[in-house]
Each structure stands twice: as structure tokens, then as C-alpha cells.
Structure 1
């Protein structure tokens, strides 16, 4: 970790409640990493009767902090954007302490063979209610509507807070970095389609699970789409010069980032290659990838 990041971690408000808007509070879990930035942001929506979004890891200190933040209030729902281990495992123990319905994304039990800091998917996630695209839950003064955004994972949901024109964007759009899209469950074509879906929405603020609130979301989403297209063009240019394996592509494409992230970047490169293969642009040849004749 560099000195600037270490300083941010040292100053992060772990275990404290941050008021971000009239309807939104956040409690930050102390699970910083190159994949989670400062940690998982667990959101509390509403006042009095509330929903919790992305309960986070099953870390006792974090769960204690969330429970303390909710003292004297009633939890109606624990909403989960997706089932990576830094998002969903806290739902069941929080429900046992505070009550409420676990709702949100569908279960997904996959062995993730990719290099993820969150150790893959939560095999124990069992929601009481799965929300389809456009379905809502509500409480006094708040309404949260599910927005299906597959790509980072096939079961990923965002949640739109209708009363504030805000969107809880999970890992689909983060406030500090682009998301890893890791096959076999991560899908670049679906990810790009979901970005386009968000671009066409009227949300004026994003609350990502990792990183700061996003104040100009359409601008960021347009930049993310452009960034992915740039990566795609890099791959095509490199393969146009000759066959290459994924590690060689990553070394050239991601020379400026922390090498600890190269294995995960390789998963996103693989996702691009699978998408390009489906579109008839490239082909695998053993360990190598080549341009389609």
C-alpha cells in the first residue's frame, strides 16, 4: 500500500455513523483492501423504520457498529446487491439481532476460481424475498426499487431511492475504481448493457458500496463505458500485432496499476476476450488469443 492509501485507511470513520442525506446513513466496515478500497459501506435508509443495504462481511465489530447505529429503530429489510463475501454474509446475523426480511438479489452458489480479495461468493446466502427488476420495498418516507444490473455478477442488483433520486449502485459502479468482471459468472456484454441501462436513468446521485458518493453519475457512467471500449481497442490492437496470452496482455495494458491487481485485471481481460469472441472478432488458440481471420 502507498502512503496516501495508508493515510486514508488510518483516517477512515470505521464503526461510526455518517449522515449522507436526509434519508441515508452509512457505517463503514473495517475491511480495506486493493479490491474494497477503504471497506464495505453498509447503508441505512430511512428514519425510525429503516432498510439496511449490503450488511457487509460477518465481522463482529462491524455488525456491532451497525446494530448500535440502529438502536431504538426498527429494521424492515436487509437488502443485498449481490453475494460476494464482503456484501451479504452479515445479513443473517443482523436479522437474528434486529429482525426484518432479507431481500434483494437471487442466491448464487459458484466456486469463483478468480483472484478475488473477497474470497468469492457467499454459499450461505438465503433471502426471504428475491426482488425482480422493478419490484419495490418501502417504509415511512422511503421507497427502494430493484434495478437488475448483471455483469459484475449475474445476480447483481442496484436499488433506486425514489424520494431522493439516488441509486445504491453496489459494485456495478464504484466510487473509486472500475469493477472486476470475472468469468464464469461475470459477463462483459451484460456489464456494458447494464451501464447503458444506468446511463438512461434519471438518478442524480449514486451511493456505491465502496468509495464516496458519486455526484455526477451519468458523467461517470459515460466515462466507464468509454474506458471499457478503450480496453477492448487495446486488446484488438495488441492481438493485431500477433498472438498473445492473457498475462502478456495484462502486463502491457495495466503497466500503471499495482501488480497485485494484475491477476484480477486478467479476469476482466478474459471477459473482454469472451465478448469479442462472441462477436466474431477473436479466437482462442491454446493459451494464446488471436484475431479471427
Structure 2
């Protein structure tokens, strides 16, 4: 993960384009044997190419789940229904990785049309398993980006759906209800999950909430961890230099910050200060 020093994401949800860009834009499509991405039409600096809506089903199964339906856009939801039809699968549940509207706004409309329920991220028990006609999913509580963030492991594909905990490109913001302490714990947990050992094979790919597939999970997760430690070092420097308010720390850590990113940077700095036990106005 190279490129200029990161600004910790834009205000709505966190994704930002950062560092060298891929040769072609991410357009979604088949990601693994069991996962297809339908890319939502909500691109922007906060959402990269748009929200990734994931359609999951076991090969040959007549049932499927959708993770993060994205915005309440009828054309997008129609494409999700088309993806289900191509797999000859009936929707049986709508799952959410967290509560931000660019992931959830279309959930009730999609679920109501199919007569199924929406399962919020906060409803999952850590390690809870879901079996949909052979499709095995494991819910992991992964707070940090938000308090309610969850990931879904897809063991048969050695894949992990990460929502906005890990993006396909750049770094994620710690939202207003996020926690750096929780996020560091989450990153350590996911890094252990991704790393192959004699006991388990690790992960081959991360399926993020925004941006392209992550084909090098260990390297990217380790890079996220380093980035957070670098930011903490910058906050410590700001405090040592006499910064007495959150705004002064933001100005020190993010000189020349785009005003559009001010709110997100403030959220992240507050999370960093809380992690360090520093109480600033």
C-alpha cells in the first residue's frame, strides 16, 4: 500500500482513492465460485467505484443470500434480482455488514419484494454459522470502522467479505461511532485468520464493500496495521508539540486537508486520541 500519506477517509463512509490507481476501474462481476458482485451506481470519493453488493450461493443451489444491497436505487436492485435469476436462486435473506446507508438503504425494498428478512450486523453472534443449502458463512464481529461492523467468512472459497473494515483500495475511516482500540484488535484477528498455518489454510481473497478484490490479504492487513501505528505516532507528535485541541491535532496530522474531508479526519483523530487516553476539546 504505497502512495502519499493517507487522509483517513471521507466523511460519509470512509473509502477514498489513495496511491497508485489500478489500470481499469472495478466493475464487479464474478469474484469466486460462490460470490458475484453487483456494483451499485453510487461512485464517488467516499465510495470508490460504488458499493459492492454481494450475491452468494452454493453452486447448483436454488437459494441465495445478498450482502449489503447498497443504495435504494431500483435499477441497481433490478440488477441484483437479475444476478439471482442467472444463478437460478431464490433470495432467502439480506445480510448487512454495518449500518451506513450506502450499504443498507436498499435492503428493505429488496427484502420486502422477496418476502424475506433483513439481518443487521449487530444481530450476529461472533462465530455464528449460517448454512443456506450448503453455502457456509461464518459471521465475525469486527468493530472499529463502526461499532456494529461485521465480516462474513466464506470458508469454501477461502474468502472474507469485509464491508468497510478493509477496502479494495486505500484506507477506511473510523466513523463517528468507531474505535481505534477495537479496530486494531480487529486487524490483528483478521491478520491471524488470513495467514496460512499448519492448522488452517488462511485466506486467498478479501471481498470488500468498496473497490476491487484484495488478492494479497496478509500484506494488505499488515499495511492497514502499519498505517494506524504511523497515524498514532503523528498524533503523539502533535501532542508533544503542544496541540491542545482536536482541531489542532487534525491540522498537524493532515496539513492542507481538503475541507470536504475535515469531518472524517476529525472522527479518526478523536478515535486516536481516545486510544491514547488524551481528552481534548
1:189 aligns with 2:200: no
- Farther off after superposition, 244-253 or 172-181: 244-253
Give the total of aligned pairs.
249
Partner of 2:155: 162
- Farther off after superposition, 204-213 or 258-267: 258-267
More strand by share: 1
SS at match of 2:101: coil
Render the CA deviation track for 1:28-84: whole Å, top value 9, x for unaligned.
111112211111000011143211111111122211111122224211221110111
Q: 1:174 aligns with which of 167, 180, 184?
A: 167
Matches within 5 A, 1:1-293: 13=27, 18-46=29-57, 47=59, 48-71=62-85, 72-106=88-122, 130-183=123-176, 185-201=177-193, 202-255=202-255, 258-277=258-277, 282-284=278-280, 287=281
Take 1:80 and 1:142, find their aligned partners in 2: how far apart are those partners? 17
Are the equivalent residues in 1 in contact too, given 2:94–2:117 (CA < 8 A)? yes
| Larger RCO: 1 or 2 (CA < 8 Å, sep 6+) | 2
- Structure 2 length normalisation: TM-score? 0.81
Question: How far 1:104 sits from its partner (Å)?
Answer: 4.3
Are the equivalent residues in 2 in contact too, given 1:142–1:162 (CA < 8 A)? no
Are the equivalent residues in 2 in contact too, given 1:148–1:158 (CA < 8 A)? yes
Take 1:190 and 1:151, find their aligned partners in 2: how far apart are those partners? 5
Question: How far 1:257 sits from its partner (Å)?
Answer: 6.1
CA RMSD in angstroms comes to: 2.3
Take 1:91 and 1:283, find their aligned partners in 2: how far apart are those partners? 38
Are the equivalent residues in 2 in contact too, given 1:254–1:262 (CA < 8 A)? no
Question: How far 1:243 sits from its partner (Å)?
Answer: 2.4
Take 2:69 and 2:223, find their aligned partners in 1: how far apart are those partners? 29
Are the equivalent residues in 1 in contact too, given 2:146–2:174 (CA < 8 A)? yes
Question: How far 1:101 sits from its partner (Å)?
Answer: 3.4
